[in-house]
């Protein structure tokens, strides 16, 4: 595989997603990375990551068992990503407890994404690692469990605030921007117990969060 492509794999990651993934992941593709994906559906994306990261170990967790042809570099586990014991089991069975890349393609709900991120980012993501939140646009879907149709909100009281869509994953992503601003928060006299985020890139459907080295 010369470039990241979903052709031949059972995955719903479209070309727009893959273009962003390529831009972030290409510097790492020939390194011995450990990649963890939450929510793997039919398992096609794990095979795609295996073939893209030539020396990578690929780990996946899903509520349902997934049948994938035997591969020494793919490790699948059945469990609820909200049950943090599953990650202890992965470490016990494989010896890998810290990952270079974590992709959350599981619940797509604000509470679910927050639970995974607030455990995995500080404890299970390597310094300098990349954490990805997929499909954060579910927050704008009124039929999604915690989504809500977007409506242009009226302005605030003139003190510098802006009305904002705060439902679902979008609301949590916006909370994470405060962590990026931790230095300015301190200068301004505020305080925050911040995650060590070096930067965030917000793209259509995807959020890339780089952990500080």
Question: Which helix (H) or strand (E) is 100 found in, with range?
Answer: strand 99-104
Place of tokens 């505020």: 190
75 in active site: no
In 105-132, which positions are buried (b, 16+ CB within 10 angstroms) versus exposed (e)? bbbbbbebbbbbbeebbeebbeeebbbb
In 148-177, which positions are buried (b, 16+ CB within 10 angstroms) versus exposed (e)? beeeeeeeeeeeeeeeebebbbbbbbeebe
Q: What is the DSSP letter of 138?
A: G
Tokens at 203, concatenated: 């793209």
Place of tokens 């931790």: 182
Of 30, 41, 75, 108, which one is the catalytic site residue?
108
Burial of residue 147 (CB within 10 Å: 0-12, 13-18, 19+) is: buried
| Residues constituting the chain | 213
Residue 61: C-alpha distances to residues 71, 76, 172 (Å): 16, 6, 22
Catalytic positions, written as ranges? 108
């Amino acid at each position: 595989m010369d470039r990241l492509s979903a052709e031949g794999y059972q995955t719903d990651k479209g070309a727009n997603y893959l273009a962003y993934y390529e831009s972030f992941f290409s510097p790492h593709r020939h390194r011995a990375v450990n990649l963890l994906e939450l929510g793997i559906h039919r398992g096609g994306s794990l095979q795609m990551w295996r073939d893209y990261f030539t020396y990578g170990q690929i780990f996946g967790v899903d509520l349902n068992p997934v049948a994938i042809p035997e591969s020494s570099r793919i490790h699948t586990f059945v469990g609820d990503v909200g049950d943090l014991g599953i990650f202890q089991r992965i470490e016990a069975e494989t010896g890998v407890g810290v990952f270079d890349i974590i992709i959350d393609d599981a619940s797509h709900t604000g509470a679910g994404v927050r639970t995974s991120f607030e455990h995995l980012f500080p404890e299970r993501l390597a310094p300098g690692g990349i954490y990805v939140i997929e499909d954060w646009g579910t927050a704008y879907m009124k039929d999604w469990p915690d989504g809500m149709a977007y409506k242009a909100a009226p302005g605030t009281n003139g003190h510098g605030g802006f009305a904002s869509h705060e439902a679902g994953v979008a609301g949590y992503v916006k909370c994470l921007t405060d962590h990026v601003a931790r230095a300015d928060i301190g200068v301004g006299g505020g305080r925050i117990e911040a995650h060590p985020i070096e930067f965030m890139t917000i793209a259509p459907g995807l959020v890339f969060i780089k952990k500080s080295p």
